[in-house]
C-alpha cells in the first residue's frame, strides 16, 4: 500500500533539487515506494526472456537544465517529430522552445525528477555494437525493442506502471520507453503546479527564460499536463 506521505513531495523533490525521497537501484535512483514494484516488473520480464534495464531514472534539476540550455543554445541538435534535425536558425525563440519540449522537459518539470518515471529497454534485444537511441522506431514493428515493447505493454499495468506518452497528443512526442508508476505519479503531477514551476524557472538561469515565462500557461497545458490516461 502506498502511504499518504509517499504521495507528497516537497517543492525541492518535485523539481529535482532534493533527493531525500529516492533509493538506489542498480546504479540509478528511484522513488523509494516505487522501487519494489519496479524490481517485480524486472523479475517478471526476466522470466519472460527480457533483460529489462534502465536507460534513465531520476534526473536532477542541474542535469535537465544542462540538456535544456545546450539544446536552446545550439550545442545539441533540435529534432522534429520524426526525430530529424531542425535548422534552429530558422526558428523563433518560442518555436525553439516548443521544438525542445517535444523531446525534453523544462528544468523543474521533468517527470524524471520524481523518481517514479523511468526509461526502459531490453538489454538482450539490443544488437551488438549498437547504442540505444530512445527513438520510437526502435520499439515499433521491426525495431529491436518491438517484442519487448509488446510484452511491456501487456504486463506493466499489473505492477502499477503505464505509458504517459503512449500516443502523440500534440505535446510531448511518442515515448514507448517511458513508463510511470501511476499510484504515485498521478498525485505528483497535480502537485507540480503552474505557480511552483514559474517560481522555479524564475530563480534559475534557464535559456529562453523570458519567452518561457511569458508563455508558461499554454506550455504547461500542452507539454506538462497533456499526458495519456491509464
CATH code, domain carrying 212: 3.30.1380.10
Side-chain half-sphere exposure of 114, counting CA atoms within 13 A: 27
**What is the pLDDT at residue 62?**
98
Residue 125 resides in a domain: yes
Q: What is the pTM of this model?
A: 0.94
Does residue 97 lie within any of the structural domains? yes
Domain hosting 48: range is: 11-224
Mean local confidence (pLDDT), 85-111: 96
> Where residue 102 falls among pLDDT bands split at 50, 70, 90?
very high
How many separate domains does the chain show? Answer: 1
In this model, does residue 8 exceed pLDDT 90? no
Tell me, yes or no, whether 4 lies in a domain: no
Q: Is residue 113 part of a domain?
A: yes
Grid cell listed for 55? 536507460
pLDDT tens, residue by residue, 156-211: 999 999 999 999 999 999 999 999 999 999 999 999 999 999 999 999 999 999 99
Residue 3, pLDDT above cutoff 80: no
In a domain, 2, yes or no: no
pLDDT band at 4 (very low <50, low <70, confident <90, very high): very low
Nearest partner of 117 among 4, 1, 5, 227, judged by Cα = 227
Instruction: Assess if residue 6 is contained within a domain.
Output: no
Instruction: Of 56-70, 80-94, 182-196, 206-220, give the lowest mean pLDDT range.
Output: 80-94
Does residue 141 lie in a domain region?
A: yes
Q: What integer is the mean pLDDT of 22-41?
A: 98
| Residue 1 domain flag | no
As a whole number, mean pLDDT of residues 56-82 equals: 95
- 170: region left, alpha or beta (phi > 0 left; psi from -120 to 50 alpha): left
Amino acid at each position: 500500500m502506498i502511504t499518504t506521505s509517499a504521495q507528497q513531495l516537497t517543492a525541492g523533490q518535485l523539481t529535482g533539487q532534493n533527493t531525500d525521497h529516492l533509493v538506489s537501484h542498480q546504479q540509478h535512483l528511484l522513488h523509494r515506494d516505487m522501487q519494489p514494484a519496479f524490481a517485480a516488473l524486472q523479475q517478471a520480464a526476466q522470466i519472460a526472456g527480457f533483460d529489462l534495464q534502465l536507460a534513465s531514472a531520476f534526473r536532477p534539476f542541474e542535469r535537465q537544465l544542462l540538456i535544456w540550455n545546450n539544446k536552446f543554445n545550439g550545442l545539441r541538435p533540435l529534432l522534429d517529430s520524426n526525430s530529424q534535425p531542425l535548422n534552429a536558425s530558422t526558428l523563433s525563440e518560442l518555436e525553439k522552445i516548443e521544438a525542445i519540449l517535444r523531446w525534453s522537459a523544462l528544468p523543474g518539470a521533468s517527470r524524471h525528477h520524481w523518481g517514479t518515471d523511468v526509461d526502459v529497454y531490453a538489454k538482450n534485444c539490443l544488437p551488438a555494437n549498437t547504442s540505444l537511441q530512445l527513438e520510437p522506431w526502435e520499439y515499433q514493428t521491426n525495431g529491436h525493442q518491438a517484442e519487448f515493447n509488446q510484452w511491456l505493454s501487456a504486463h506493466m499495468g499489473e505492477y502499477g506502471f503505464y505509458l504517459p506518452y503512449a500516443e502523440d497528443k500534440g505535446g510531448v512526442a511518442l515515448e514507448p520507453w517511458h513508463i510511470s508508476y501511476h499510484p504515485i505519479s498521478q498525485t505528483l503531477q497535480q502537485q507540480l503546479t503552474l505557480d511552483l514551476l514559474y517560481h522555479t524557472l524564475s530563480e534559475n538561469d534557464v535559456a529562453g527564460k523570458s519567452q518561457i515565462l511569458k508563455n508558461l500557461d499554454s506550455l504547461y497545458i500542452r507539454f506538462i499536463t497533456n499526458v495519456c490516461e491509464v
